Amino acid sequence: MTPTLIECRGLARTYRRGPELITPLDQLDLDVDRGDFLALMGPSGSGKTTLLNLIAGIDRPTGGTLTIGGVEISGLSNGALADWRSAEIGYIFQLYNLVPVLTAYENVELPLLLHKLSRRERHERVATALALVGVADRSSHYPRQLSGGQEQRVAIARAIVTDPAIIVADEPTGDLDRAAAAAVMELLVRLNREMSKTILMVTHDPGCAAHANRTLHLEKGRLVESGLAAAH
Amino acid sequence: MLSPKYIPYILKQVSRHPARSILTMLGVAVAMFLFVSVQALQRGVAEATEVTGKEVTLVVYRENRFCPATSRMPDSYARRIAGIPGVESVVPMKIVVNNCGASLDTVTFRGVPRENIASITGGATILSGSIEEWKRRGDAALVGETLAARRGVKVGQTLSAAGIDVYVAGIVRSENAQDQNVAYVDLAFLQGTAKRGGDGIVTQFNVRVKDPARLPEIASAIDEEFRTDSEPTDTRPESAFVARAAHDLVQLVGFSKYIGWGALAGVLALAGNAIALSVRDRIKEHAVLRTLGFRGGLIARLIIAESAALCLAGGAIGSLAAFAVLRFGNFSMSVEGTSMNVNAEPVLIAIGLAITAGAGILAALLPALSASRRQISESFRAV
């Protein structure tokens, strides 16, 4: 099995806003190996989230190729892309994006509804995921009854419950206090090291980026710097 | 189709905005109450007025008269009608009503000769009392089930209307709406009691024919028989007679179908508005679901199911309420001595539920389509 999981070649994304043509990502080449923990940094509008969304399959490139696990995902139909996301991607949002009318348990169960699993299998997986992120005792709580840190842990449980190969995280600590942020980062490091998850994380915080084993800097849609972070 | 495992999610979304959902459900319930009521009215009218190939009863009325009080013919006509080939039996009837106009509570007395009571109620089931009891007393009445329930009378009690008091000797159930809403009394008793008319005068003749196919021919023969008499006749099949007598009412009920359609349009508007608002509030949430791997089509089906559930709940309340009110109210529309039941049958509930589910699905189509097609990244940017 090739160590390269994600291959971006000449990746570009443009869109039109009125008469203006916006190019958040321009001719980007990037390889990400299996088990990498990559931090994407750069000023606002540099294309970090656009790159993350393209890799997560929730946006489509307007140029170049994007191959993930040997699949050229920009060529997939909308339905096939949805199925691919369901199997391969766990997405962690900055603002958690839990469904407010569902309990923590039901939120984590949501992605599993798309898989052919019995109710019991779903229960086992949800319980495992919630225990892994340390909020098993909050499973019956609604998002409004949880702290920000707890909400993000539930969101991480939702992202990993289907056991995806890739976890993408868009500023996962951006809305958290220092202690909660540290706990979330510790969790992501564990997922990367103990469960071999490939993680791509957008962050503005160099402290968070330091947890990654590689950091990319983007500016005006182009990769300007790439380096290995200090090992932990 | 949608897997049952999504039902909890759908129900939680329906209850997400309780006030909005309850108001929508109540609106749908009111609309479906109207719709089911209108359907019941129309079924009653259709049942009473649609001529079928099996009909064997003709009603002979005084020509150019439209009210029991003015249709007056000598009962001697019965013998001449009986002599017309194809006629099986003739029953002279005197009809007295407490209200000649359209009413939901008309009491109709039909006076029939004592010897004809068994044949005239032959198709009916005696629910309580007996024909023997009716024959024993001169002031006895066999009361239709609907009329008895509406007036709250039982065997042994007195039914009073139009200045006439009768003893309830039996309560009968019949498939014929006319029999369900009348009190059959002795013809001589009614002729003696009624203020207008007197001995030997009747309102109409009910004529049974042997062959339903000959109904028009025999009707013409009867009218021809009396064409030059002082009291010429107008003979029609019973259902056509009811349709003519209740012409205004039939037209009104016919118009009421627009109220039914209006109610349905109301359901569509209410559900469409509620679902459109709900979808607009959840653009980001739907984007999150799609990020998790939910296909656009699945999102659309979830939204449609949510709308159908909302409408079904309202539809169930409205349809059941209408059914209960109509069933236990025992309403019948009467005019000029003819009756049309308001037919509240269980099938109306099923129709009501099917229609509300359909309306819910229809109302959600556009919002669902829109939600399923919206780009995920654009949805995140839009909020």
* Cβ neighbours of B5 in A, within 8 Å: 113, 119
Q: Do A110 and B291 touch (CB under 8 A)?
A: no
The token pair that represents A3 in the structure block: 């160590």
Q: What is the mean pLDDT of chain A?
A: 92
CA-angle at A63, arms to A60 and A67, nearest 5°: 65
Q: Do B292 and A79 touch (CB under 8 A)?
A: no
Pick the residue with more confidence: B340 or B231?
B231
Inter-helix orientation angle B238-245/B18-49, to 10°: 120
Q: Do A113 and B376 touch (CB under 8 A)?
A: no
Q: Is the pLDDT of residue A231 over 70?
A: no
Sign of CA dihedral A91, A94, A100, A105: positive
Inter-helix orientation angle B238-245/B247-281, to 10°: 80
Pick the residue with more confidence: B137 or B303?
B303
Q: Do A58 and B377 touch (CB under 8 A)?
A: yes
CA-angle at A222, arms to A218 and A225, nearest 5°: 50
Q: Do A114 and B293 touch (CB under 8 A)?
A: yes
Mean pLDDT of B146-174: 90
Q: Is the pLDDT of residue A232 over 50?
A: no
* Cβ neighbours of A50 in B, within 8 Å: 377
Q: pLDDT, tens digit, for every residue of A162-182?
A: 999 999 999 999 888 999 999
Whether residue B333 contacts residue B104, with contact meaning beta carbons closer than 8 Å, is answered with yes
A87 touching B (Cβ < 8 Å): yes
Looking at this predicted complex, what is its ipTM? 0.93
Number of cross-chain residue pairs from A and B with Cβ atoms under 8 Å apart: 67
Q: Which residues in chain A (167-226) have CB-CB distances under 8 A to chain B?
A: none
* Cβ neighbours of B284 in A, within 8 Å: 97
Whether residue B303 contacts residue B13, with contact meaning beta carbons closer than 8 Å, is answered with no
Kindly give, in sequence order, each residue whose CB lies less than 8 Å from that of residue B129, ignoring residues fewer than 6 positions away: B142, B155, B156, B168, B169, B170, B171
Lowest mean pLDDT of A94-103, B16-25, B47-56, B168-177, name the range.
Answer: B47-56
* Cβ neighbours of B292 in A, within 8 Å: 85-86, 91, 110-111, 114, 158
Right CATH for A34-60+89-228 from 3.40.50.720, 3.40.50.300, 3.40.449.10, 3.30.450.60: 3.40.50.300
Let me know how long chain B is: 383
A119 touching B (Cβ < 8 Å): yes
For an interface test with B, which of A58, A59, A91, A98 has the most B Cβ atoms less than 10 Å from its Cβ? A58
Burial of B149 from C-beta contacts in 10 A (0-12 / 13-18 / 19+): middle
